[in-house]
Amino acid sequence: MRKAAVLIISCWSGFMVMSLELLSGRILAPTFGNSIYVWGAIITIFMLALSLGYLIGGRLSLRTPTISGLCALHFAAGIFLLPIYLFEIPVLDAIFSYTQDPRLGSLLASIALFFIPAVFSGMVTPYSVKLLVSDASAAGFYAGLQYFFSTFFSAAGTLLTSFYFVLIFEVDQILLLFMGMTLLVATGVFLVARKAP
């Protein structure tokens, strides 16, 4: 039950973060365009945020990791989607009034809007690995298992968002859907794990 709970969060975290990365291009496009500069900025910021999240999550896992701690990290990633929904237009307008350069503008906008939720999503991964590993000799297997599920669902999030979600829903609706699902998964796993023997 514990391992299933960890993998459920890993799967949705991978799905959500890649979907958010794709959506970020749609969010920035009306202000800074859809050029390679914009996508270069987005990918760079997400990679830096995730790498920082991996570092922090790994550090946190050195303490005594718990399912509730993992749920809290995942919940925080969902909560920090809300400022994107609420403030994307004022933030983009403010940055555009400061610079119209698509390179600098998209870098600043990506940091302001997407950096924090991506950091928390990155923290989930090493924290999850520590929860999965009960025997040091099996650490490689469980790390591989966690990365398999997380990356597989990242691919699913990329495909579903780019092929379907953006054609059916508005960007803000997708953001709210992802936020709701992230909070639901974190809360559901927390409640189930508490009742599990």
Q: What is the pLDDT of residue 64?
A: 86
CA nearest to 50, candidates 147, 121, 145, 148: 121
| Residues of the chain with confidence (pLDDT) below 50 | none
pLDDT of residue 196: 62
Q: Fill in the DSSP letter of residue 138.
A: G
Q: What ranges do the domains of the chain cover?
A: 2-195
Q: Locate 135 and state its tokens.
A: 């025997």
Non-local (6+) Cβ contacts of 96 within 8 A are: 31, 32, 105
Q: Is 33 exposed, middle or buried (0-12, 13-18, 19+ CB in 10 A)?
A: middle
CATH number of 2-195: 1.20.1250
pLDDT of 197 reads 57
- Whole-number pLDDT of residue 8: 93
pLDDT given for residue 26 in this prediction = 95
The answer to whether residues 1 and 192 touch, using CB atoms and an 8 Å cutoff, is yes
DSSP alpha helix (H) spans, the chain:
2-32, 36-61, 67-79, 82-98, 102-132, 139-160, 166-168, 171-195
pLDDT digits (tens, 9 = 90+) for 52-105: 999 999 999 988 889 999 999 999 999 999 999 999 999 999 999 999 999 999
**How many Cβ atoms are within 10 Å of 71's Cβ, its own excluded?**
22
